[in-house]
Amino acid sequence: MQRRLLLKALAGITSLTGLAGTAFVAPVFAQTSSAAKTPLEIWKDPNCGCCGDWVTHLEANGFAVRVNDTGNSAARSRLGVPTNLGSCHTALVAGYAIEGHVPAREIRRLLKERPKAVGLTVPGMPVGSPGMDGAIYGDRRDPFDVLLIAKDGSTQVYQSYNRPQQGQAQTQTQTQALPTAEGEVRKVDKATGKISLRHGDIKNLDMPPMSMVFQVKDPALLNNVKAGDKVRFTADQINGDYTVMSIEVRN
């Protein structure tokens, strides 16, 4: 009798131990599965204030982002993104280049469809794209296209966002002289035809004071400016790119 009681007691202890082990392992497995994220590496301009917001957008949509604060131009060249399709940051995910403020939704679509392509780009820095949609822009949403870059450098529209209705009136900046703005040169990149400016209000673009990387209309505009110069300039949006149209050093 005592032997039977002892065996039952031991069986009960073993059963409880097994259950305890199961209860311990299951949550760890679930946590590991839910924590799995898609790795993505980004190279960005250290003077650009909107790249971090794009990183936040990606992290909120299931990407594990590794950030490099330099090497944007080199990464773009290495990954085969044409200079004219460039923006303030370049990323790499699963063998594809991601240039500029591409929505996470289109990156997910790219990884699902797996086309034979270099990757995706949103040239320039259009307001309303992820990372360029903060409170400082209010309700402004400029139209932009996500472009699929083919292996030969050609592009096709992968997805359009915020497209205006047909017959929309021309903006004031297309019909009137551009107002001047003042700023300080942070960086000049002649190789890519870009200039980084810390600037005040740009009235025609409804852009508040911030640091921004601009294209330049004419590369020759960069010959007479350098980092640290106080400048007066005009800017406009050309084909989705924020572009310096004229610039001069202030006396």
Per-residue pLDDT tens for 211-233?
Answer: 989 999 888 899 989 999 999 99
CB 194 within 8 A of CB 215: yes
Element (H, E) at 64: strand 63-68
CATH code of 38-161, in short, is 3.40.30.10
CB 115 within 8 A of CB 155: no
Percent of the chain whose pLDDT exceeds 90: 54
Phi-psi region of 27 (alpha: psi -120 to 50; beta: other; left: phi over 0): alpha
Q: Model confidence at 185, in pLDDT bands (50, 70, 90)?
A: very high
Per-residue pLDDT tens for 119-141?
Answer: 999 998 888 899 998 888 888 88
Is the pLDDT higher at 44 or at 27?
A: 44
pLDDT of residue 24: 31
Does 205 score more than 50 pLDDT? yes
Is the pLDDT higher at 96 or at 173?
A: 96
Does 190 score more than 70 pLDDT? yes
pLDDT of residue 35: 57
pLDDT of residue 23: 34
Q: What is the residue extent of each domain of the chain?
A: 38-161, 172-249
Residue 53's Cα: distance from chain center in Å?
Answer: 8
Q: Give residues with Cβ within 8 angstroms of 107, minimum separation 6.
A: 40, 58, 63, 93, 98, 120
Does 203 score more than 70 pLDDT? yes
Q: Report the mean per-residue pLDDT for the chain.
A: 82
Q: Give residues with Cβ within 8 angstroms of 232, minimum separation 6.
A: 180, 181, 182, 247, 248, 250
User: Residue 227 and residue 225: Cα distance in Å, rounded?
Assistant: 7
Per-residue pLDDT tens for 59-90?
Answer: 999 999 999 999 988 999 999 999 899 888 99
pLDDT of residue 5: 45
Does 173 score more than 60 pLDDT? no
Q: Is pTM, for the whole model, over 0.85?
A: no
Superfamily of domain 172-249: Copper binding periplasmic protein CusF (2.40.50.320)
pLDDT of residue 164: 56
Give the strand pairing for 230-238 and 210-216: unpaired
